Amino acid sequence: MNTSRYALWMKEAGYKVIVYAVRDTPFFRQATMQGLDVRVVHRNKKYFDVLSARRLAGMFQRDEVALVWFRDTRDMDTLGWAKRFSSSPFKLLYQQAMQFGVAKRDVFHTHRFRPIDAWVSTLQFLRTQVENATRFSSSKIHVVPLGVDTSRLRIGEQLRQEARNHYKLAEDAYVFGVIGRLDPLKGQHMAIQALHELHKGGKLAHLLLVGEPTLNEGDEYSEHLHAVVRDLKLVDFVHFHPYTSDVSFFYHAIDAFMLCSKGETFGTVTIEAMACALPIIGTNSSGTPEILEEGKCGVLVNPDDTTQWMEAMNTIMVRKEEALSMGFRAQKRFQENYSKEISVQRMKEIVDRCIA
């Protein structure tokens, strides 16, 4: 989704963009739907796929490609070999999507990273990981957060009543929201447990859960969540709804946003909530503290501490003026760092510097 989104944005910015994708993959379908120029490629192996590398080098040469932008580490080795094989060398831009789990300062990884001309980390904490875990040149590492196109959020439109009706939520209900695939690492169970504790204190808030199980991974966790809701007698207060690409109703329907993931590298949904000026509760791990400016733009909690979640929810419900100010600070930070326009401008500067 992010790769096809940036391909479209760069095309809109005036670049000639070609998408190279494996047929019938989500990336292929999304790029085709967006009307981008798509070339079909074979699924390459992760390492030493010389045949695919030579094939790609030929395609890039015919298409007069000046820069190849990629996010999947599976493609890194093949593209590095393609660059070495090409008679008309192109630049390589890697947009980092995941955290580093282990150090990669060995000869193999140093050789693997060498062909990359620009390494783009979405946050400073990721850049620091790259600097500490690899021998890659710091001068080629850039920090550019993923951007959000606010037009899809319909900010400024009066959609609250319509959104509440869509999710069958009472107008006077205080609603916390979690959006994302239903997965133990996404932490929806923590939001439910915290809501239960909140109810014990007399705060009868609601919880809107929008999302579905990961494709082809079964419904076990989803079924577990529904069972917990029944056991805790929260059926009237926890609302399950499937995910849709139009997320505007979700953000207009809720009063506060929760990111319960144990380790979210870069929470795009958190950025969207910031754009909507919502008070946010997020986990004090991975990229979330940096996004929320170490707690200035949201409340940070231990992902496994139900009491902290409950206390944060209670604080946001009770201290309404403080929650409102928190939302406005988050929106201001979004406008200064995470909008589509700012992200594209920073990427353009990197691309132009590479191909110059």
pLDDT band of 324, cuts 50, 70, 90: very high
Grade residue 323 by pLDDT with cuts at 50, 70 and 90: very high
What is each CA distance from 165 to 37, 81, 170, 239, in whole angstroms?
Answer: 40, 55, 8, 13
Q: What's the pLDDT at 186?
A: 95
- Per-residue pLDDT band at 218 (split at 50, 70, 90): confident
Q: What is the pLDDT of residue 208?
A: 98
Domain residue limits, the chain? 2-147+340-355, 150-337
Please check the confidence at residue 353 and state whether its pLDDT lies above 90.
yes
HSE on the CB side for 137, CA within 13 Å?
Answer: 8
> Which top CATH class is 150-337?
alpha beta
Average pLDDT over residues 299-306: 96
Q: Give phi and psi for 192, each to the nearest 5.
A: -65, -45
Q: Is the pLDDT of residue 19 over 90?
A: yes
pLDDT reported for residue 217: 73
Residue 120 — pLDDT band, cuts 50, 70, 90? very high
Which run of H or E residues covers position 121? Answer: strand 118-121
Q: Find the length of the chain.
A: 356
| Separation between Cα atoms, residue 271 and residue 118, nearest integer Å | 24
Strands in 206-210's sheet, in edge-to-edge order, are 238-241, 206-210, 175-179, 256-259, 280-283, 299-301
What is the share, in percent, of the chain residues with pLDDT greater than 90? 92
Fold exhibited by the domain 2-147+340-355? Rossmann fold (3.40.50)
Q: Please state, in angstroms and as integers, the Cα–Cα distance from residue 342 to each residue in 117, 317, 348, following that order.
A: 22, 33, 10
How many whole angstroms separate alpha carbon 146 and alpha carbon 157?
24
The 10 Å Cβ neighbour count of residue 135 is 13
Amino acid letter, residue 237:
F
97: confidence class by pLDDT, cuts 50, 70, 90 = confident
pLDDT in tens, 241-299: 999 888 999 999 999 999 999 888 999 999 999 999 999 999 999 999 999 999 999 99
Q: Which two tokens stand for residue 213?
A: 């199980």
Residue 110's φ and ψ, nearest 5 degrees, are -60, -40
- The alpha carbon dihedral of 68, 69, 72, 77 has a sign of positive
Q: Is 150-337 the same fold as 2-147+340-355? A: yes
Band the pLDDT of 100: cuts 50, 70, 90: confident
When pLDDT is averaged across residues 95-102 and rounded to a whole number, the result is 88
Mean pLDDT over 347-354 rounds to 97
The answer to whether residue 6 scores a pLDDT higher than 80 is yes
Alpha helices in 1-101 (DSSP H): 2-12, 26-33, 50-62, 76-85
Tens digit of each residue's pLDDT (9 = 90 or more) over 39-83 = 999 999 999 999 999 999 999 999 999 999 999 999 999 999 999
% the chain with pLDDT above 70:
100
